[in-house]
């Protein structure tokens, strides 16, 4: 089938107008953290979930709250604690004395935007209840199965420090997050603005600027973004280099990688690259799009060995080395 890239680009021009509006609305409250805001948009458009890692106080909760308000979607927050139960997340059946029957009480997961705060503080059964819902996009309570509303975006956070009493997410479950975004401290000037805004309470009110319908339409357009075979090959080269680094002249990485990215990694990378092209108002993907998202897509999908840990080599270092060696088409 012949693809008309020009027509796709024109469509994107029309359908992506909300991106600037959304960014502007979010920037009313979120100072700096452009990377995080961009990745939230990619997750929103790519129908993927986001794992955020950053020290407390970096506006993780505020960002998703603002996004929910700006998109006019339902928002809920779940604070993960060691005593949390799966029913606290997905919901349960409660006995209604008046009607002498059981009725379903839906959990906080029934929202468009769910913030799973400090996901690694809850035990594995709660984590898997959430992650299963993320994957299946449906919940079964008792005999009834409920489809979750679209868009459904889970933003989970975890704290890189204070690891005592935490339950590390298993690799198989981390893989279900499309992106893992590591948030750093704001710049000096940005923090000055944050400080001033907090002292004066001068935050503007966030208004809904995008409808859920617009998001659903945009998602359809994202799927139409043209990806050339050369870009596909480039994505596959990057993924395969995580599995067989020696084939790409990276023999030094062989002992440092315990397992490479899964096929879900290549799917997510392709999807995120398309979303990035959409945000940049392009109807086709270029290598820059892949390069822009590759770190956030692959950092949680590569397992590092004890040897790598001993040498202080992180998954990010490995991805960077791969990106610097694999030839760009």
Partner 1 sequence: MKYIITSLFLCIGFAMMAQKNPSISVKIDTTNIKIGEQVTYTISAPNHKKVIFPKIENLDSLVVAEELPVDTIQNQLYKKYLITGFDSGTFYIKKQQVFIDAKAYFTDSLLVNVATISVDTVKLAKHYAVKDLENEDYTLAEWWYRIKNYVYVGLAVIAFMVGLYFLFRNKKEPVKVKKVVIPPYIEATKELKNLEKKQLWQNNKVKEYYSELTDIVRKYIGNELLVQALETTTDELMSLLINENKQQKLGLDKDTLENLRDLLSQADFVKFAKQKPVEMEIKGHQSNASRIIETIHQLVESKKQEVKDDEQQ
Q: Which residues bind partner 1 (CB under 8 A)?
A: 3, 5, 226, 228, 230-231, 282-288, 291, 323-329
Q: To the nearest 10°, the Cα dihedral for 185, 180, 326, 288?
A: -70
CB of 304 to partner 1, least distance (A): 23
Write out the chain in H/E/C secondary structure.
CCCCHHHHHHHHHHHCHHHHHHHHHHHCCCCCCHHHHHHHHHHHHHCCCEEEECCCCCCHHHHHHHHHHHHCCCEEEEECCCCCCHHHHHEEEEEECCCCEEEEEECCCCCCEEEEECHHHCCHHHHHHHHHHHHHCEEEECCEEEECCCCCEEEEEECCCCCCCCCCCCHHHHCCCCEEEECCCCCHHHHHHHHHHHHHCCCCCCCCCCCHHHHHHHHHHHHHCECCHHHHHHHHHHHHHHHCHHHHCCHHHHCCEEECCCHHHHHHHHHHHHHHHHHCCCCECCHHHHHHHHHHHHCCCCEECHHHHHCCCCHHHHHHHHHHHCCCC
**Of residues 2 and 143, the one with the C-beta less far from partner 1:** 2
CB of 65 to partner 1, least distance (A): 34
**Of residues 5 and 62, the one with the C-beta less far from partner 1:** 5
CB of 6 to partner 1, least distance (A): 8
Residue 219 tokens, joined? 């998602």
CB of 288 to partner 1, least distance (A): 5
CB of 315 to partner 1, least distance (A): 20
**Of residues 2 and 144, the one with the C-beta less far from partner 1:** 2
Q: Give residue 52's Cα distance to chain centre.
A: 8
Closest CA to 269 of 179, 153, 329: 179
CB of 262 to partner 1, least distance (A): 24
CB of 204 to partner 1, least distance (A): 33
Closest CA to 62 of 85, 92, 32: 32
Whole-number Å distance between alpha carbons of 18 and 20: 6
**Of residues 303 and 329, the one with the C-beta less far from partner 1:** 329
**Of residues 147 and 233, the one with the C-beta less far from partner 1:** 233
CB of 313 to partner 1, least distance (A): 20
**Of residues 133 and 285, the one with the C-beta less far from partner 1:** 285
**Of residues 143 and 327, the one with the C-beta less far from partner 1:** 327
CA dihedral over 258, 260, 262, 264, signed as positive or negative: positive
**Of residues 71 and 279, the one with the C-beta less far from partner 1:** 279
**Of residues 193 and 295, the one with the C-beta less far from partner 1:** 295
CB of 45 to partner 1, least distance (A): 20
- Residue 102's DSSP bridge partners are 95
């Amino acid at each position: 089938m012949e693809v008309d890239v020009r027509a796709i680009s024109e469509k994107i021009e029309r359908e992506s107008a909300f991106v600037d509006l959304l960014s502007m609305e979010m920037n009313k409250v979120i100072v700096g953290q452009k990377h995080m805001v961009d990745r939230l948009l990619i997750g929103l458009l790519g129908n993927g979930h986001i794992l955020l890692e950053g020290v407390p106080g970096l506006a993780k909760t505020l960002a998703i709250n603002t996004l929910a308000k700006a998109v006019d979607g339902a928002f809920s927050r779940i604070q993960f604690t060691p005593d949390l139960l799966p029913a606290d997340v997905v919901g349960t059946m409660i006995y209604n004395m008046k009607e002498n029957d059981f009725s379903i009480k839906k959990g906080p997961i029934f929202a468009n935007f769910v913030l799973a705060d400090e996901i690694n503080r809850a035990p594995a059964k709660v984590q898997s209840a959430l992650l299963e819902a993320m994957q299946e996009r449906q919940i079964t309570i008792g005999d009834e199965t409920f489809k979750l509303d679209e868009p459904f975006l889970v933003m989970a956070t975890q704290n890189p420090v204070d690891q005592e009493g935490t339950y590390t997410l298993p690799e198989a479950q981390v893989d279900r997050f499309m992106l893992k975004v590591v948030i750093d401290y704001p710049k000096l000037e940005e923090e000055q603005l944050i400080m001033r805004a907090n002292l004066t309470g001068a935050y503007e009110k966030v208004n809904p600027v995008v409808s859920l319908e617009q998001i659903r339409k945009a998602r359809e357009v994202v799927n139409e973004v043209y990806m050339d075979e050369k870009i596909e090959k480039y994505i596959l080269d990057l993924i395969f280099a995580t599995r067989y680094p020696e084939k790409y002249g990276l023999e030094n990485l062989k002992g440092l990688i315990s397992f490479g990215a899964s096929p879900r990694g290549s799917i997510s990378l392709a999807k995120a690259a398309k979303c990035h092209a959409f945000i940049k108002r392009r109807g086709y993907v270029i290598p820059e799009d892949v390069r822009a998202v590759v770190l956030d897509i692959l950092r949680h999908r590569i397992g590092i060995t004890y040897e790598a840990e001993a040498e202080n080599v992180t998954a990010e270092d490995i991805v960077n080395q791969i990106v610097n060696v694999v030839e760009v088409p």
